[in-house]
Chains A and B, each alone.
Chain A
Amino acid sequence: MTPTIPIHIPTPLRSYAGGQAVIEVPADTVGEALRELVRQHRELERHLYDEHGVLRRFVNVYRNEEDVRFLERERTPVRDRDTLSIVPSIAGGADREGDANPAAAPRVAAGDAAASQAPVAPPRPAPAKPAPPAWATGADGLPPLSDAELLRYGRHLILPEVGIRGQRRLKASSVLLVGAGGLGSPLALYLAAAGVGRIGIVDFDVVDASNLQRQVLHGTASVGKPKLESARARLADLNPGVRVDAWETRLTSANALELLREYDVVADGTDNFPTRYLVNDACVLLGKPNVYGSIFRFEGQASVFDARRGPCYRCLYPDPPPPGLVPSCAEGGVLGVLPGLIGVVQGIETIKLLLGIGDTLVGRLLVFDALAMQFRELKLRKDPACPVCGEHPTIRELIDYEQFCGLPSAEQAASLAEGWEIDVRELSAKRERGEDFTLVDVREPHEWEIARIPGAILMPLRTIPERLPELDSSRELVLHCHHGARSMRALEFLRQVGYSKLKNVRGGIDAWSREVDPTVPRY
């Protein structure tokens, strides 16, 4: 028989429970008891559970003397004479030294005794600061500044938080930028200007005209040249005192530890999930701070992941999104100014880490919405079960990140595409020969407005499942998109539902404009 279990309600929640201190419910488990409680008192639900139906962080449930989190959580059985208690977590404390807004009490009317009291506190003992890199422990080991450098960095030197010593620290320090794109550009420019002694950049791309809308490190004259070349030239002009290590390679599991090991701080400006997880795991394994930023359309995020002091990227996102679910900037677009802002936030955090000043974004995720012009902040917690930085890590060396993210490796992608891909010249030849096929453009309507290949029909990727009846499986279907990735996904889908006469246009409409028909605008 189901026992009746008393639940003790803490005083703040009683007004949502009919004013009762104890509510008795029939239940065999903690979960049943709580569900019955919120069934009887609907208002309690939002105080006990978050929007995902998970028990709120500051709410603890005890079965007799034990926290159910250490038992079987909501599956914890309850029997006759057991008692459940809902116990709030209580915490607080003075703000740290230098925190503005000591009151946090905007509602206190002017003239109120409390509001008019001037804070008279003597300086508080300094709270624990992020540890500066190891080289900072011996003052003698820091490089001196020349007269020219004293002049150049004058506005830093008069900041007590930086000063000559801080500037010498910057000169002695090193930062690795993963990517010289939208985020890497402002990062590289400001870190070089600030006098960071050594800046490493990992990138293997060449400058494309479509990069210039946001990648301010590169100029029009550099289109078609390696990004590292224009980065090096621009940084040398900006600050000849900075050493630039140009790593023209893809960051891989094979080289990441070796590359990152040399640097004090790593700043992640990558645009894809496999590299992001790779950078994270390598930083955790090496015990280095990872200054994270990401951008998409009008939104950006930034944080500092330092597993020694807080959560890592995997604590925030344990699993990558399914391939294709989250569009890249190339597919979804990005406001050109946005990476400037997020990259500069990363730059500020990098400098603070190197100097050991201020409160960094460790344990906090900054979320920026450009359209609303709003910054929000989310608290991040270290996940004790995190596979790389948790209490019992299962990832002790770098893994295959393409596979982890559900993507085919470069070789697999090549073999997958084999037999299914044609290049734009073949497409052109097929048209000239008058072959019978349907050219399907799987891009979005606004992209179609910008440019299209004559004769193609528009069928955006996400609409394909419902528009299958329009596609005749007895005819050959040639699929294209902007660069070839979305149309490859469309091809995979069509194969699965039984189409077999399929081809994907390698390089998409972009390749078509470059190699076949320059009158089709590139974007």
Chain B
Amino acid sequence: MSLALDRGLLREMHEHLGRAYPEEGCGVLLGREADGRRRVTRVIGFENRLEASRRNRYVIAPEQLLQAEREARALELEVLGFFHSHPDHPAQPSAFDLEHAWPYYSYVIVSLHGGRVADSRSWRLADDRAGFLPETLELVAEPDAAARGSGGTSPGEPSGDTR
């Protein structure tokens, strides 16, 4: 099980979550899957729709997801999963994450300490719902700089589980 994305997309995700800090940020990951390998090709950041407890809770409203699913269909992509931040908490799923988890989806959790990214990890719900299984978060070269319109190198944030 692996989830691959390039540095530009990782940075996009981190920047979105950094703006939300100290509250939790969230968003959706679109891409394709082949032979158990998932490749993220688009990251969409969402506004955390919760009215309270945004420091330790996030929610993606169905209409936000519906819109993302439309976009995925138009681009012939799938909704592979979601990302969210744990401000000043480890990048590990909480009991609350477990309770709300769906099978199949990749859940990328980014730990931010003092507003800076400390760790990024990806998880999938185990078939028996007893817990999450770690999923390799793979950094890959940028596919086609021209297509993405951002050819710069990444500032080199820690990337997490490849250590």
Contact = CB atoms under 8 A, between A and B. Distances in A.
A92 interface: yes
Chain A interface helix/strand/loop/mixed = loop
Interface string A358-396: 000000000000000000000000000000000000000
Contacts of A454: none
Given A87-B62, A121-B88, A113 B104 contact: no
Given A58-B100, A87-B62, A90-B100, A11 B93 contact: no
B66 interface: yes
Interface in A4-31: 8, 10-12, 14-15, 21
Question: Chain B interface residue count: which class?
Answer: 35 or more
A94 to B, nearest CB: 4
A121 B35 CA distance: 36
Interface stretch (A104-112, A326-334, A515-523): A104-112
B96 to A, nearest CB: 6
A104 B55 contact: no
Interface in A59-111: 60, 62, 65, 67, 85, 87-96, 99, 101-108
Contacts of B57: 91-93
B102 A104 contact: no
Interface string B78-112: 11101010111111111111101111110100010
A105 B96 contact: no
B113 A103 contact: no
Question: Chain A interface residue count: which class?
Answer: 35 or more
Nearest to A85: B66
Q: Which of A14, A88, A106 is most buried by chain B, counting CB atoms within 10 A of its CB? A: A88
Contact of A12 (B58, B87, B102, B121): B102
A322 interface: no
A236 B76 CA distance: 75
Interface of B: 22, 24, 26, 52-53, 55-60, 62-63, 65-66, 69, 73, 78-80, 82, 84, 86-98, 100-105, 107, 111, 113-114, 118-119, 121, 123, 126, 130-134, 161, 163
Interface of A: 8, 10-12, 14-15, 21, 58, 60, 62, 65, 67, 85, 87-96, 99, 101-108, 112-114, 117, 119-125, 127-128
